[in-house]
Chain A
Amino acid sequence: NAGVTQTPKFQVLKTGQSMTLQCAQDMNHEYMSWYRQDPGMGLRLIHYSVGAGITDQGEVPNGYNVSRSTTEDFPLRLLSAAPSQTSVYFCASSYEGHRYGYTFGSGTRLTVV
């Protein structure tokens, strides 16, 4: 089925470890983004990309890294995990977001201990 696929669904990390959250879409969307969801905070934008080879920072980029080598994939890297990065992470993609809205993945629940 077409959509946004995120892996893994759950992950537990130790402080200081690094990992990559994967995100892939098969809808040929130009725009992809990463959000984190925390209780009482809504969703906050971490990084986004408007096309292959182009990325930019969102509202809360510190401690995260991204790259966009293909249209389909937009991985999010945690460089050195901290307990403050415990959250649920969502990837989203869009063709023309202001017209058609955004398609979200099912999320990755990350716990840093």
Chain B
Amino acid sequence: GNSVTQMEGPVTLSEEAFLTINCTYTATGYPSLFWYVQYPGEGLQLLLKATKADDKGSNKGFEATYRKETTSFHLEKGSVQVSDSAVYFCALNGGGSNYKLTFGKGTLLTVNP
């Protein structure tokens, strides 16, 4: 079956530091890949997505590239802010008529001023 493995946290950074959160996946076929963000006390919000190999998703300064050869979808940001403190989830959908989302366990990011 499908699975997602993301780096365990928590991750603590200073403001303006570079961020990488690793995500690798196992899936058959051609999945779509997502990063979701959950701010304290809130639901999940779609941060970015990529639906085919070599696609780059980007939003709010975050980027992730769909690498089929390494089955990876690492999240990066060049300069984090205190407001980026949240839990980040990598997820995949198997594609086609498969609507299910498979999540990683989440990575807590704390950014200090």
Contacts and interface: CB of A to CB of B under 8 A. Distances in A.
Contacts of B100: 33, 45, 48, 58
B35 to A, nearest CB: 10
A53 interface: no
Contacts of A103: 46
B105 A101 contact: no
Contacts of A50: 97, 99
B85 interface: no
Contacts of B97: 50
Contacts of A41: 105
B4 to A, nearest CB: 8
Nearest to A90: B43
A102 B46 contact: yes
Contacts of B103: 35, 42-44
Size class of the A contact interface (CB-based, 8 Å): 20 to 34
Interface in B63-102: 89, 93-101
Nearest to B46: A101
A92 B103 CA distance: 13
B27 to A, nearest CB: 11
A58 B96 CA distance: 18
A33 B104 CA distance: 17
Interface stretch (A14-22, A60-68, A71-79, A104-112): A104-112
A101 B45 CA distance: 10
B44 interface: yes
A44 B100 CA distance: 10
B93 A105 contact: no
Interface of B: 31-32, 34, 36, 42-46, 49, 51, 89, 93-101, 103-106
15 contacts: A42-B106, A43-B103, A50-B97, A58-B100, A90-B43, A90-B44, A92-B101, A98-B31, A98-B93, A98-B98, A98-B99, A101-B34, A104-B36, A104-B43, A106-B42
